[in-house]
Structure 1
Amino acid sequence: MDLDHARKIAVEAAEAAGALLLKGTRGALGVRAKGDAGDVVTDLDLASERLLLDRILTAYPSHTVIAEESGLVGAAGGEWTWLVDPLDGTNNVAIGLPAYVVGLALCRDGLPQVGVVHDPVSACTWSAVRGRGATASSGARLTAVHRPHSRGPLLAWIQGYDVARDDPTLRRLKTALDLDARRVLQLWAPLLAWAMLARGDIDGVVGYRAGVIDLPAGALLAMEAGAEIRALDGGPYEERVDAAETRSFVAAHPRSMPALLSLLG
């Protein structure tokens, strides 16, 4: 398997989907509810996903694809599986907020090998291949940073849509962050948060019961930029993913991790 070629295919597909999204956000979106937890889906999600599925399956017809809207495409349990998020930040798009990205990950037996995140608004693409680092479309390498802050770290928060507002762990974590972090960003576009960590724009990401469709691409991007990911209790983070699971985690530069874990109690 040529992972450099897979990254090229993924970058081209994500950028084509991004062009479709950028044009589509200027017109009617066709927004409708998705489930009972406040999530929504638009005609753009579906159109972007069709484009991505066509590109990926044309290049790799024997691969499995798990997509945000379509679910499993192809046989389950294959060696190579693509995870597709055609529009990460749909709720933002629905209210006219231009904070959204396209994400693709290629996993081998559940372990992320290639990750691509494309931001249509800034026309930037960030990608990573396992063991080879993470880069921007400009060619610049991405590097997570350690910056001691007297007023606390700048963090991004990610949570799953099925988390109840009165969840005791949710309330404990958010209270701790509100008290001790300098600022907590709730972008509702997890892949954008991962890209910000990989670029060194923020100090860490805290996730609680986050969905897994967009997780591998972002996590690989951050790790290849030098970030570390741990479980909320500081224990090991399991990199292999199952599309049906959710994850809770802390991600930061290794030198920033002890203070962040201490902040969470």
Structure 2
Amino acid sequence: MFSFALTPEIITRVLGWLHTAGLFALGRQADAPASIKADGTQVTPVDLELERYLTTQINHAFPDHNVMGEESGQTSRAGAPVTWVIDPLDGTSAYLEGIAGWAIAVGILVEDRPVYGFHYAPRLNEMTFTDQFGQVIRNGLPVKRLPQERWHRRAYLAVGSASNYDYRLNIRRCRTLGSVSTNIVYTACGLAAAAFIPKACAWDLAAPLAILQSQGAVLRYLSGGPFSLSSLLDGSNLREPLVAAHPTLIDQVCRHISYRPPTSPLQQPGMR
């Protein structure tokens, strides 16, 4: 089995890339124009520029590795044992609307398994990543708080902005943080009790899944079936929703989420 050793030098390099990308994104946030992609999601020139920058840095540092990005797909080295999965701007809508939870996420897959993850939320000034020992580091310190094992009075479910339209969330406290990756990372770090992910692709999940697993939490389908990131490496979207939580809590959360029959939403045509 192939292995890839994440060294302190590599970590320092990746953190530098993310800080540079974050400063660029912050500087362009006030006037970034948006267009609509074929799948109905928004994209800005910032998404494209950040992905080009990160891809260039990875290709230069690791010429034998594959790179998969949200906007550009995979490099010509598809099939390499190590793949870097980039979400240059997770939460583009939040970014455009001034909501703080958008993030830059980079996951490292070894033989299609998420092993290391880097998540940077510039507006929140939060950098979370897995180190070479599998420990989760948040803003320079090891994360001491574990994923929540039970539901309590202040617990909340991290959700996407459209979750309550398609699904009935029979949970008192739900919060929209701004991006899929931030929802999962907050769950991993014990801030959110769980996360509900109705729609996502590999680039949304690679980095936060590595962080989540390092903290002992799980990501599985709402129906109860196991989830494998490899099912999305062809660029496809989820076939059904996911829930992230501690293993002792996830069944309880899933029982309180159900499908809502469609109605006519109040929204701008072509947007989601």
- Do both proteins adopt the same fold according to a TM-score greater than 0.5, normalized to the shorter chain? yes
* Distance apart, 1:88 and its partner CA: 0.9
* Distance apart, 1:131 and its partner CA: 6.4
2:260 equivalent to 1:253: no
2:224 aligns with one of 215, 234, 249: 234
Q: Distance in 2 between matches of 1:201 and 1:134?
A: 14
Q: Distance in 2 between matches of 1:185 and 1:244?
A: 28
* Distance apart, 1:85 and its partner CA: 0.8
Q: How many pairs align?
A: 250
Q: Which residue of 2 aligns with 1:111?
A: 113
2:39 equivalent to 1:22: no
CA displacement 1:87-146 (0-9 Å, x = unmatched): 111112222333311000111121011100001112221001586221112213252122
2:43 equivalent to 1:41: yes
Q: Distance in 2 between matches of 1:155 and 1:88?
A: 19
Match of 1:3, SS? coil
1:68·1:86 contact (CA, 8 Å) conserved in 2? yes
Q: Does 74-83 or 128-137 show the bigger shift?
A: 128-137
Q: Does 131-140 or 120-129 show the bigger shift?
A: 131-140
* Distance apart, 1:73 and its partner CA: 1.9
Q: Does 195-204 or 182-191 show the bigger shift?
A: 182-191
Q: Which residue of 1 aligns with 2:190?
A: 200
**What TM-score results when the alignment is normalised by the length of structure 1?**
0.84
One-letter amino acid of the counterpart of residue 197, structure 1 = T
CA displacement 1:175-215 (0-9 Å, x = unmatched): 1x1xx212223344111111211221111012224222120
Q: Which residue of 2 aligns with 1:13?
A: 17
Question: Any residues of structure 2 matched to 1:45-84 within 5 Å, and which?
Answer: 45-84=47-86
1:158·1:210 contact (CA, 8 Å) conserved in 2? no
1:34·1:40 contact (CA, 8 Å) conserved in 2? yes
> Once superposed, which parts of structure 1, at least 4 consecutive aligned residues long, lie more than 6 Å away?
none
* Distance apart, 1:254 and its partner CA: 1.9
Q: Distance in 1 between matches of 2:11 and 2:213?
A: 17
Q: Which residue of 1 aligns with 2:269?
A: none
Match of 1:24, SS? helix
One-letter amino acid of the counterpart of residue 252, structure 1 = A
Q: Distance in 1 between matches of 2:134 and 2:29?
A: 34
Unaligned runs of 5+ in 2: 259-272
2:21 equivalent to 1:31: no
2:147 equivalent to 1:144: yes
**What TM-score results when the alignment is normalised by the length of structure 2?**
0.82
2:173 aligns with one of 157, 177, 183: 183
Q: Distance in 2 between matches of 1:87 and 1:157?
A: 18
Unaligned runs of 5+ in 1: none
RMSD over aligned Cα atoms: 2.5
1:113·1:130 contact (CA, 8 Å) conserved in 2? no
1:211 aligns with one of 189, 201, 207: 201
Q: Which residue of 1 aligns with 2:261?
A: none
Match of 1:25, SS? helix
